[in-house]
């Protein structure tokens, strides 16, 4: 029996208001051979962290998967990008404008956004760049802990052309220990140009 290309979206996930675009995204994924493996937790609020992030193609496959699922997964992006011509395309795709010059920092901005929504899923690349880094940004842990939001690891693996969902993680007050535990989960997986270590 063939694996399903995408798992079913849980009932509490924030949904996209479209049937055509999910169908088109699933067609593109079927042609590409990429799959999403695992099951989503049925929770109304969630932070997904994807790695290793080493190529623009990660965003392409990830975007096709979220649209194909029919799930509205938000992604943080600089406000300046959305203020330009690309904003017309990117805003409907769930991009969240981040004001880096605001009085509130990014963590506070995101916690406030979570608190103002009944349902919200947020996607983050903790490496913060496509280049190899030795330290991951801890913002996702601080958002998760401050807002009591569960974290779902998403493992990117180009050799198997798959994104795999990991176990649900709950952030503690010890962000350093949490980071060590979470980063270790990503070691077996390889991005387009590198792994996470």
Q: What φ, ψ does residue 170 adopt, rounded to 5°? A: -115, 125
pLDDT in tens, 79-118: 776 777 777 777 777 777 776 655 458 888 899 999 999 9
Are the CB atoms for 7 and 70 separated by under 8 Å? no
CA angle 49, 7, 141 (to 5 degrees): 15
Average pLDDT per 10 consecutive residues for the chain, totaling 197 residues: 76 90 93 94 96 90 92 82 74 72 74 94 88 86 96 97 96 96 95 83
Token output for 194 = 């590198």
Predicted structure pTM score: 0.88
Are the CB atoms for 124 and 49 separated by under 8 Å? yes
Rounded-to-integer distance, Cα 74 and Cα 18, Å: 16
Neighbouring CB atoms inside 10 A of 32's CB total 13
Order of strands, sheet of 120-124, starting from the edge strand that comes earlier in the sequence: 35-37, 162-165, 151-157, 45-51, 120-124, 73-78, 95-98
Token output for 62 = 């990830």
β partners of residue 155? 51, 164
The alpha carbons of the chain give a radius of gyration, in whole angstroms, of 16
Rounded-to-integer distance, Cα 197 and Cα 27, Å: 34
Pick among 1.10.238, 2.40.10, 1.25.40, 3.40.50: CATH of 20-185: 3.40.50
Q: What is the three-class DSSP state of 35?
A: strand
Place of tokens 């675009």: 21
Residue 103's pLDDT is: 47
């Amino acid at each position: 029996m063939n694996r399903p290309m995408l798992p079913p979206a849980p009932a509490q996930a924030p949904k996209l208001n479209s049937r055509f675009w999910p169908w088109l995204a699933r067609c593109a994924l079927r042609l590409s051979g990429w799959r999403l493996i695992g099951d989503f937790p049925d929770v109304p609020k969630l932070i997904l962290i994807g790695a290793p992030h080493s190529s623009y193609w990660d965003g392409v496959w990830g975007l096709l998967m979220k649209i194909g699922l029919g799930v509205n997964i938000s992604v943080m992006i600089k406000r300046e990008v959305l203020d330009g011509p690309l904003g017309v395309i990117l805003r409907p795709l769930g991009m969240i404008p981040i004001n880096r010059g605001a009085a509130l920092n990014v963590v506070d901005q995101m916690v406030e956004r979570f608190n103002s929504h009944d349902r919200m899923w947020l996607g983050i690349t903790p490496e913060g760049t496509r280049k190899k880094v030795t330290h991951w940004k801890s913002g996702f842990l601080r958002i998760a802990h401050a807002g009591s939001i569960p974290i779902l690891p998403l493992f990117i693996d180009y050799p198997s052309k798959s994104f795999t969902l990991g176990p649900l993680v709950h952030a503690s007050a010890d962000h350093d220990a949490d980071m060590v535990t979470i980063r270790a989960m990503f070691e077996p997986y390889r991005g387009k140009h590198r792994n996470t270590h």
